[in-house]
Amino acid sequence: MLEDIPVIICGFPSPAEDYEEHQLDFNSYLGTGKPSVYALRASGLSMIGAGILPDDILIVDRAIAPFHRAIVVACIDDEFTLKRLLLDGQAVLHAENGSYPDMLFGNLQELVIFGVVTGIVRKIL
């Protein structure tokens, strides 16, 4: 899929560029045609260190098993959040912004993972 995306050269254009033909199906590339994939709009600043900004569209796949260091959509005691999952002895939800504390889980709290973030879509204008 990535090999189908044209490369842009920051300099003089190649004379062969007029003859290239590439098509990119964003639904296929992002997996949005799968029933397990959904999109969410990001809010807040807790994940800016991971490159996730307010109003970004997150592509989330609930069919992917959560793994160490994945960015996940999690539900803790009926509250949804987006954090990096750390699995090192116990589950920790880590914000990618030093202004936010890690979320540790005791035996009485319920942590449910609703999917793994697989992509980000952002408009720049």
Is 36 part of the annotated catalytic residue set? Answer: no
Radius of gyration of the chain (CA): 18
Options 14, 46, 99, 123, the catalytic residue? 46
Tell which residue, 99, 121, 113, has the closest CA to residue 41.
121
Q: Which long-range contacts (CB under 8 A, 24 or more apart) does 85-88 make?
A: 85/113
In the residue annotation, 123 being an active-site residue is answered as no
* Coil/strand/helix, residue 82: strand
Distance CA 50, CA 66 (A): 17
120: Cβ–Cβ under 8 A, 6 or more apart, which residues?
A: 51, 52, 56, 57, 58, 59
Catalytic residue (one of 34, 36, 43, 83): 83
List the catalytic residues: 46, 83
